[in-house]
Amino acid sequence: MPTALITGPASGIGAAFARRLAADGFSLVLVSRDERRLSESADQLKLRYGVATEVLPADLGTEEGLARVESRVADGVDLLVNNAGFGHPGRFTEVPVQDETRMLKVHCEAVLRLTLAALPGMRERDRGAIVNVASVAAFFTHGTYSASKAWVVNFSESAANEVGNPRIKIMALCPGFVRTEFHQRASMDTTGIPDFLWLKADDVVREAMRDLALGKRVSVPDLRYKAIVALGKYVPRSVQSRVSASLGR
């Protein structure tokens, strides 16, 4: 039975990945700093899908937590989903620098280190997959969040190119606005976001898994967001910034 390790699986896109992979017959290793919710999620998945679930409480924003997960990944996983992440409600100039560097540790350093930890075993088995959850924000300019997600996209494409093995797939997943707890946890105002821009987490994961099977290195779920990203390439950065600011962080 293949094993998938998912960071941030207690809600939103991470939880949708956990449901989908459990339904596909994967054993799960679930990583989150919220041990109570993690255990509840593991119990529900085990009861519903009958799969083995391993709980790994860890805070990827700390060296101790990241090292613990890094060690588990190095023990061997068939699919790694780097999904953990968060946002800040204010402009980056208004956010304490320690909070910004914590974001970079979770969004960038953790993705780098866990990817590197997973690759030796995947090379040895000559198969495996890594999904690094980024965001449509990666293609636009709006603070440290979008900058960190742009790094995830570039890194994922670069890593896939350097590995150079079609049986080891590395993909950046770039969803738009998704109905999750993400914005509420970050105290973000979402009232300016039109209803038609919201996606469902299960739909995002379904399209992501399809794109992964097709060998895509960047997945942008939903035609609406594919069009937004395509059009964004022709829009001046100054205009992009004004539009994203009007939609909220």
Residues annotated as catalytic (active site), given as ranges = 145, 149
Q: Give CA separation, 61 vs 19, 41, 135, 200, 225, in Å.
A: 25, 21, 19, 27, 30
Cβ neighbourhood burial of 206 (10 Å; 0-12, 13-18, 19+): middle
CB 198 within 8 A of CB 179: yes
Axis crossing angle, helix 12-23 with helix 35-49, rounded to the nearest 10: 30
Instruction: For residue 76, count other CB atoms closer than 10 A to its CB.
Output: 16
Looking at the DSSP assignment, which residues form a beta bridge with residue 178? 199
Contact indicator for 45, 51 with CB cutoff of 8 Å = yes
Tally Cβ neighbours within 10 Å of residue 11: 17
Q: How far apart are CA 5 and CA 234, in angstroms?
A: 38
